[in-house]
Structure 1
């Protein structure tokens, strides 16, 4: 039985709105938690003239440290919270992620010789291949991109070429690197913001020992500033000019994925903004009078930009891609042709894309707007259903570059039942929480859940096997009337979903399916 409850548990504070499985009672409870994270406590005021402030270390965030040192067993446990079964695939990607960390611990001479062991996942539609990639992206503290093989065309045809994969990965790495550095420098920037605001309020700090009293006054103002007692005080600061884009009538069209076009666009945007060919330092500014509560955020962004200018973000982003980048290529079977019906085809998304992928997977240098990127040590994970073709139908060279083969199993009725009950935030929990926003308590009985799984498995066998995605169709059919009428129900109403309700809502679907088999 699945219900909505207001029970608060300790784990709810960590995971938010979740549904938890209780093996003793055989129930899954859905509940909502509304909590706000407490702000960092204010520093204790001090009477000393010199305030000792701990210099923030450029250490990694605790969460990032945990993610970068995840053991394979930890990765599998985390994947088990979201994905049912497919242990072979989970273990393969967990080992692949761990090997990225292991390689970085080797001596430089040996590290150059160790290349990633690329993975090929084979399994029917809806068995969890894409979900594994999505959860990997959340776990990996590294540049990660998921692409569809069918989105690319052979070089020389209209469309995206495979080199764009690395360029998109570089964009992701640049944003990830900038975010990491921003988090590391935020505390240092906050101290600089305090000094800037104090300078605006009482002038520059005293530099001579005879003006100790002024130093004490500055420390008192610092304490008041940290306690928020001066938030309403107004100060005059310089902010970037909020004027419309001055393009000077220059508009550059073309493929922005081309590094040359992107570089020219960036150059012209700097020239048109008044900053010349250099950085933001020459950008026009204007003076504004703002309350300290508002000025603090504006100055913080300025100070963060100044600190980031001292770091070569492009170099670090390129290094992150080259040493830790992960590329997940989905639907790779769609660019394969069966050898039994091999013909010369003009399909620009077929074998030509495979040939273009060869140097990318083997290792080559790609030109991007951030610099040249070497793909020798990027980990590639490919996946496909391979129900119309076989893995052996891929180009032999590409097969050799995907040495680790992992087969995922099709989903049975029991697997579908587990998908509905075991994962965190499963489909039934989502429905419970959605209806609970209307003040209605939605209850799924266990027999109803088993009937949903049985019907989904039957439709997969008789119509088209789309795996776990069939559950979305079945549940939406059951919830159609309840979702429509929930807003009109009285608050506190309990809506039960039993086996009879499920059978009644799905009977016409099964009848239509039976008749469709006799239509030519």
Structure 2
């Protein structure tokens, strides 16, 4: 696609992707660097596309379990609004707890407390609160919920190694839970989203996302003219020819390793876009 800046090249491609339900990302060729230089390698655009595909598939699957997740969220809200007595839950043995326990006293203390059997009085009260909740009478009522917080990103390694190391650490380390006080209507959305994630078969969703990215993925590469230089240009653009060399195998079809599995780029659609000066 050729045209001056602002005529809508990106928007045309984005709307086409939305119409057919295809995962779409836009990248700028000038943001990539040759392998061995500091910066993002060209394979990262395929990994980003797969991330978009995973979000699309999970959003579709969440719609299928929306009613069940909402029902579970309402049940959880009723228990939060009318709590019963708590007793300390048995902590699961974490293999890393012995390593980090001394320096991090709260390490592994994310398990919720177990709820004792509710009394008849509490059951009656919960029944009344549930009816009010379903009637929308408690939407502005404040409630405290625990929300999972992902560990912070690690920024000391290269981009690809950084992503792999962060994914591995996220699987090993327990997610930290932070307590927030929010209105019931907000808490319902948060809880329903968490329950929907639990109801979805994550492995199946990831596999579907890989197939979607392989068969219908669209990558819009902008500013390609900035890296399509000849051998006479040198100096600060030393890595641009390397970027060209790294992109070509992806266009022709290659296997890219992502955190969800190996992805083929053979059937992906690539838009090349550059700007021409206005006359």
Q: TM-score, normalised by structure 2?
A: 0.65
| 2:49 matches 1:148 | no
The corresponding residue for 1:355 is 245
After TM superposition, the structure 1 = structure 2 runs for residues 157-236 of structure 1, keeping only pairs within 5 Å, are: 157-197=37-77, 224-229=132-137
Distance 1:252 1:333 in 2: 30
Gaps of 5+ in 2: 85-124
User: Aligned to 2:214, which of 322, 344, 348?
Assistant: 322
Higher RCO, Cα 8 Å, sep 6+? 2
**Does the CA contact (< 8 Å) of 1:133 and 1:146 recur in 2?**
no
* SS of equivalent to 1:380: strand
Distance 2:142 2:45 in 1: 49
| CA 1:218–1:318: 2 relative to 1, 3 Å | same
Distance 2:167 2:65 in 1: 26
| 2:262 matches 1:372 | yes
* SS of equivalent to 1:153: coil
Report the CA distance between 1:364 and its aligned residue.
0.3
Distance 2:151 2:28 in 1: 38
The corresponding residue for 1:254 is 157
Task: List per-residue Cα deviations over 1:334-383 (Å, max 9, x = no partner).
Answer: 32346xxx548463344332222221011101112222111111111112
* SS of equivalent to 2:33: coil
Distance 1:333 1:246 in 2: 39
* SS of equivalent to 1:384: coil
| CA 1:156–1:230: 2 relative to 1, 3 Å | closer
Distance 2:268 2:164 in 1: 25
Distance 1:131 1:290 in 2: 37
Report the CA distance between 1:147 and its aligned residue.
1.7
Gaps of 5+ in 1: 1-120, 204-216, 388-464, 468-520
Task: List per-residue Cα deviations over 1:134-193 (Å, max 9, x = no partner).
Answer: 443554522111122222233333333211211221222233333333333222211223
After TM superposition, the structure 1 = structure 2 runs for residues 371-520 of structure 1, keeping only pairs within 5 Å, are: 371-385=261-275, 465-466=277-278
The corresponding residue for 1:484 is none
| CA 1:186–1:384: 2 relative to 1, 3 Å | same
**Does the CA contact (< 8 Å) of 1:337 and 1:350 recur in 2?**
yes
Task: List per-residue Cα deviations over 1:199-247 (Å, max 9, x = no partner).
Answer: 77699xxxxxxxxxxxxx9998765432124658898x873488xx988
| CA 1:270–1:367: 2 relative to 1, 3 Å | closer
| CA 1:168–1:348: 2 relative to 1, 3 Å | farther
Instruction: Name the count of aligned residue pairs.
Output: 237
Distance 2:270 2:244 in 1: 14
The corresponding residue for 1:504 is none
The corresponding residue for 1:401 is none
Report the CA distance between 1:268 and its aligned residue.
2.9
Distance 1:122 1:357 in 2: 19
| 2:169 matches 1:303 | no
| CA 1:186–1:329: 2 relative to 1, 3 Å | same
| 2:166 matches 1:265 | yes
Distance 1:344 1:128 in 2: 30
**Does the CA contact (< 8 Å) of 1:174 and 1:313 recur in 2?**
yes
* SS of equivalent to 1:303: helix
Distance 1:294 1:122 in 2: 45
**Larger-Rg structure:** 1
